[in-house]
Chain A
């Protein structure tokens, strides 16, 4: 097992293409997860008992079934019901939905920690429910949730590796393709590991900032 620098340099462009798709999927899925989670938390909070049970059922489903199973279900079973979508949108949507379920729990926890006295103040100021949510509760929920949500985005970024199972050319997928074609595994997976680690750094920096700010 010897490291081949020329081979490493040769496969780097393919891996960087994988980086592009990894970032694309992470950004798109995170957008779905963070906004969807917020909407689910609000919906659960303002719903009737039946509505809450309905939301909770789907949340538990998304959190309880592994992402890979959901990906295969969406990719192979939905076409039988006449719903055929390309792999990339399916991958983005499934990861987004799964992490929306996780995020909604974070938002919900933040909402619970907002003192009830602030809601009293909103009533005393005669703010409408919409303004109360838009200007007071949602900003506070987001602010209080941020450190955990950054962690979840980091988790989602790592979870994009499973998308290689649908043939989506994320970094992990590209590394596997290169390795299978060349029968060399050291360089592709070492480089993939280093790149994943390097891409973690901005998240780790953000988390350290949050720790300093909120500790």
Chain B
């Protein structure tokens, strides 16, 4: 279904092999900060008295596929929402390709145009698909290209057909979301995010609302994306096999903190933290 040619069109990516080396603990070298696609430094987030993230440090290389795992409520989704500027951090700094999404270098609040520029480099796929129910599949796909990227309708439709072919739904072009299965809706949502050619793609529990059979078709699309494209992937999932297949790095969260991170092999075969072992036991035995 997927080819290297198809996904290599997905943006001006920096090859992962050429990216800056990272310390074993995932921390960044500040002199190389522009080499990170996304950086969280001492980021905290609270909702009222509830602290969701506590002094989070996370640095992701361009093209890297990072999966966040951990129990529900451990702050994984909040990390993605902060990266997408859907939430503002309570403290700390988040940078996308070196550009702060909260304050600029002079400490001034981010401007609207800067926010738009940062958002243009990121795409997000949600657990509940979030397709616009009053628009057809094609209209869902071309809305952002025609209004954000200022593409002509013809150009946007051409792109839309390409991405629909990539996700295997070119025959659903005139269907409304309600006429599609959950898996098909999620594949459309992925195509809608990809059509903007983001450099960072945030996938938030994209199969949680699907039964296993439908989840499989969505995961296949993401597997192809992970293997063939150079887009940076930040994934939140409870599908451990999928996480193992697609990730360069697994980050384990608990109570708003990173308790462990490393290669999939290390995390799944030889985790250091007892809390990680307990979490993996509970989820793999489920």
Q: In the complex, what residue of chain A is closest to B123 when comparing beta carbons?
A: A124
Tell me how many residues of B have a C-beta within 8 Å of chain A. 24
Chain A CB within 8 A of B45 CB: no
Given contacts A117-B130, A118-B130, A140-B133, contact A125 B85 (CB under 8 A): no
Which residues from 116 to 156 on chain B have a C-beta closer than 8 Å to any C-beta of chain A? 116, 119-120, 122-124, 126, 128, 130-134, 143-144, 147-148
Residues of B within 8 A of A125 (CB): 123, 143-144, 148, 192-193, 196
Interface SS majority for chain A: helix
CB distance from B135 to the nearest CB of A (A): 8
Residues of B within 8 A of A120 (CB): 81, 84, 86, 124, 126, 130
> Could you say which of A115, A117, A118, A126 contacts B144, with CB atoms under 8 Å apart?
A126
**Does A121 lie within 8 Å of B134, measured CB to CB?**
no
A131-139, A180-188, A203-211: which lies at the interface: A131-139
**Does B86 lie within 8 Å of A118, measured CB to CB?**
no
**Does B133 lie within 8 Å of A124, measured CB to CB?**
no
CB distance from A46 to the nearest CB of B (A): 15
A117-B143 Cα distance, complex, nearest whole Å? 17
Chain B CB within 8 A of A128 CB: yes
Q: In the complex, what residue of chain A is closest to B119 when comparing beta carbons?
A: A126
A131-B84 Cα distance, complex, nearest whole Å? 18
Q: In the complex, what residue of chain B is closest to A121 when comparing beta carbons?
A: B130
CB distance from B166 to the nearest CB of A (A): 18
**Does A123 lie within 8 Å of B85, measured CB to CB?**
yes
Residues of A within 8 A of B143 (CB): 125, 127, 131, 135
Residues of B within 8 A of A135 (CB): 132, 143, 147
Residues of B within 8 A of A121 (CB): 126, 130-132
Given contacts A120-B86, A135-B143, A135-B147, contact A126 B116 (CB under 8 A): yes
Residues of A within 8 A of B86 (CB): 120, 123-124
A127-B133 Cα distance, complex, nearest whole Å? 16
CB distance from B106 to the nearest CB of A (A): 24
Q: In the complex, what residue of chain B is closest to A139 when comparing beta carbons?
A: B134
**Does B130 lie within 8 Å of A127, measured CB to CB?**
no
CB distance from A38 to the nearest CB of B (A): 16
Given contacts A117-B126, A120-B86, A135-B143, contact A127 B132 (CB under 8 A): no
The 3 closest A-B pairs by CB, nearest first: A121-B130, A124-B124, A125-B144
Given contacts A121-B130, A123-B119, A131-B148, 10 further A-B contacts (CB under 8 A): A120-B130, A123-B84, A123-B86, A124-B86, A124-B122, A124-B123, A126-B196, A131-B143, A131-B147, A140-B132
20 contacts between A and B (CB under 8 A): A117-B130, A118-B130, A123-B86, A123-B119, A124-B124, A124-B126, A124-B193, A125-B123, A125-B143, A125-B144, A125-B193, A125-B196, A126-B144, A127-B143, A131-B143, A131-B147, A131-B148, A135-B147, A140-B134, A143-B134
